[in-house]
Amino acid sequence: MVRWPVELRAATPAGEVIALGPLHRRDQREWRAVRMVSRHWLGEWEATSPDGRPSGLGFGAMVRHYNREARAGRMVPFAIRSEGRLVGQMHLFGLSWGSLLSCAAGYWVAESAAGRGIAPTALAAAVDYAMGELGLHRVEVNIRPDNTASLAVVRKLGFRDEGLRERYLHINGAWRDHRTFALTREDLGGQSLSERFHTNNSSHIGDTPPHVPSGGAEGT
């Protein structure tokens, strides 16, 4: 099951070290500042409520929700930091045990962090944790077909395209189609995803288009 809190560290192929760990109540001011600066960058990919009501929790309630869900084994809610600064979030959610052993991953990074290999590095670290420490068999990411930056993230990591889910999630005010991408342990052939990323994709870091968000909220 899930041990929480958890701290992970990883390096991009360019050598930038990132840390994945819990979001704290003391992060409120920094989190709000990052989200405010990147609001236009991320807004197109944000989940919304189908009934039009505000869907957000207060920051303290959000942190408590994350910790409660993590300790219950339903979510692993990482904050992403570079040089001690908050630059995004990476969540494993919908954790399923028993015969399924699966979860979904979702993420966002600040506009200032885009194009530096942070999103694929964080996703690779999260997948390795899911398939290693947690013992899961499969991780999926659901992405809007027009979110070209997030599509670039999963393609750099070699996720399989499993097809289109029509009107799958309510994003930015409407039901949106998503493509599902997935990896299983067999896909990695005994190698960690981080190792495969560094081996196969190091020459491509920095080619994420700068004009679109690098994986909107929840990988959408």
Kindly report, residue by residue over 155-189, the tens digit of the pLDDT: 999 999 999 999 999 998 899 999 999 999 999 99
Instruction: State pLDDT tens for residues 57-99.
Output: 799 999 999 999 999 999 999 999 999 999 999 999 999 999 9
Query: What is the model's pTM?
Result: 0.90
- Residue 211 is predicted with a pLDDT of 26
- Residue 41 is predicted with a pLDDT of 81
Instruction: State pLDDT tens for residues 134-159.
Output: 999 999 999 999 999 999 999 999 99
- Residue 220 is predicted with a pLDDT of 58
> What angle, 0 to 180 degrees and rounded to 10, lies between the N-to-C axes of helices 118-131 and 148-156?
50
**CA–CA separation, 199 and 210 (whole Å):** 24
Average pLDDT over residues 14-43: 94
* Site of tokens 């207060």: 58
Q: Do residues 143 and 185 make contact, with C-beta atoms less than 8 angstroms apart?
A: no
Q: Set out the domains of the chain in order of their start, with CATH numbers.
A: 8-219 (3.40.630.30)
Residue spans of beta strands (DSSP E) within the chain: 8-11, 17-22, 75-82, 85-96, 102-109, 138-143, 160-171, 174-184
Q: Do residues 176 and 170 make contact, with C-beta atoms less than 8 angstroms apart?
A: yes
Report which of residues 209 and 168 the model is more confident about. 168
- Residue 94 is predicted with a pLDDT of 97
Residue 189 phi, psi dihedral angles, 5° rounding: 55, 35
Mean pLDDT, rounded, of the chain: 89
Range ranked top by mean pLDDT from 40-44, 113-117, 128-132: 128-132
Q: Do residues 119 and 214 make contact, with C-beta atoms less than 8 angstroms apart?
A: yes
pLDDT bin (cut points 50, 70, 90) of residue 55 is low
Find residue 96's DSSP bridge partners: 102
- Residue 64 is predicted with a pLDDT of 96
Q: Is the backbone peptide bond immediately before 210 cis, with ω within 30 degrees of 0? A: no
Question: Taking Cα atoms as reference points, which of 131, 140, 138, 136 lies closest to residue 97?
Answer: 136
| Dihedral of the alpha carbons of 150, 151, 154, 158, in degrees to the nearest 10 | -160
